[in-house]
Amino acid sequence: MNPAKRREIFQRLQAANPHPTTELEYRSPFELLIAVMLSAQATDISVNAATRVLYPVAHTPEAILALGEEKLTGYIQRIGLYKTKAKHVIQTCRILVDQHAGQVPQTREALEALPGVGRKTANVMLNTAFGQPTLAVDTHIFRLSNRIGLAPGKNVLEVEKKLLRVIPKEFLHDAHHWLILHGRYICRARTPKCAECLIYDLCEYKDKAN
């Protein structure tokens, strides 16, 4: 895909949604961190349903530590892998309190040192919470980047590095959200809604629906 096509793609996505954001509900970097940790192999809908009940009770590292792992598990048991996630959340809260004065760190290294936080979660935090021009490649973005020819790659890291290189700088801050939303609702895995796609004429997908 040539640079002119890529620019046009993001111009259209921007025009359709000038201020995109995550569908996870949060009011602070810490709430976003916990929501993203819980969202692995789970839907945003299920995470939001859990945090709507959890956050009024405990929305800081100190409060979640006071809650304890057993009670925390009760709040998030509707989410997949909830036992492992509860353990990681408690461990992460302990590190935030002991090493970061209860605040979420703003560097990749410090974020990835937290239990249950990998590169994707760190990228979400750096971009969405702290405004850095990076992006997290989830299954939607990986599929979309390969399918439409935006930034083909064999793995998520390859796609991430390519996207950072080819997306025009002025679109980098919001590209993560545009691509996720487009992949989630339009360029779906099994039945892409090509008839509703605003970048259909720019797409290089060989099996476009008629």
Contacts of 207 (CB under 8 A, 6+ apart): none
Among 129, 157, 183, residue at a domain's last position: 129
Regarding whether 57 and 141 lie in a shared domain, the answer is no
Among 5, 83, 98, 120, the active-site one is 120
Regarding whether 184 and 152 lie in a shared domain, the answer is yes
| pLDDT(55) > 80 | yes
Q: Answer whether residue 207 is part of any domain.
A: no
Among 138, 154, 162, 206, the active-site one is 138
Regarding whether 53 and 108 lie in a shared domain, the answer is yes
Regarding whether 164 and 124 lie in a shared domain, the answer is no
Regarding whether 56 and 106 lie in a shared domain, the answer is yes
**Structural domain containing residue 39:** 29-129
CA proximity to 172, closest of 20, 32, 39: 20
Regarding whether 105 and 55 lie in a shared domain, the answer is yes
Q: Answer whether residue 51 is part of any domain.
A: yes
Q: Answer whether residue 209 is part of any domain.
A: no
Q: Give the pLDDT band of residue 132 (cuts 50, 70, 90).
A: very high
Res 41: pLDDT: 87
Instruction: Please confirm, yes or no, whether 174 is among the known catalytic residues.
Output: no
Average pLDDT, the chain: 94
Structure tokens at 117: 């936080």
User: What's the whole-number mean pLDDT along residues 62-82?
Assistant: 94
Res 141: pLDDT: 95
Report the CATH number that the domain containing residue 172 is assigned in CATH.
Answer: 1.10.1670.10
Instruction: Please confirm, yes or no, whether 138 is among the known catalytic residues.
Output: yes
Q: Answer whether residue 46 is part of any domain.
A: yes
| pLDDT(35) > 80 | yes
Regarding whether 120 and 36 lie in a shared domain, the answer is yes
Regarding whether 138 and 46 lie in a shared domain, the answer is no
Domain count, the chain: 2
Regarding whether 45 and 118 lie in a shared domain, the answer is yes
Look at the block and give the residue holding tokens 């996630």: 85
Q: Give the pLDDT band of residue 80 (cuts 50, 70, 90).
A: confident
3-state secondary structure the chain: CCHHHHHHHHHHHHHHCCCCCCCCCCCCHHHHHHHHHHHCCCCHHHHHHHHHHHCCCCCCHHHHHHHCHHHHHHHHCCCCCHHHHHHHHHHHHHHHHHHHCCCCCCCHHHHHCCCCCCHHHHHHHHHHHCCCCCCCCCHHHHHHHHHCCCCCCCCHHHHHHHHHHHCCHHHHHHHHHHHHHHHHHCCCCCCCCHHHCCCHHHCCCCCCCC
pTM for the complete prediction? 0.89
- CB neighbour class for 209 (10 Å; exposed up to 12, middle 13-18, buried from 19): exposed
How far apart (Å, rounded) are the C-alpha atoms in residues 68 and 197?
46
Regarding whether 100 and 73 lie in a shared domain, the answer is yes
Among 104, 129, 154, residue at a domain's last position: 129
Regarding whether 139 and 85 lie in a shared domain, the answer is no
Regarding whether 46 and 13 lie in a shared domain, the answer is no
How far apart (Å, rounded) are the C-alpha atoms in residues 176 and 153?
17
For the CA atoms of 195, 200, 203, 204, the dihedral, rounded to the nearest 10 degrees, stands at 50
- CB neighbour class for 52 (10 Å; exposed up to 12, middle 13-18, buried from 19): exposed
Report the CATH number that the domain containing residue 124 is assigned in CATH.
Answer: 1.10.340.30
User: What's the whole-number mean pLDDT along residues 116-124?
Assistant: 95
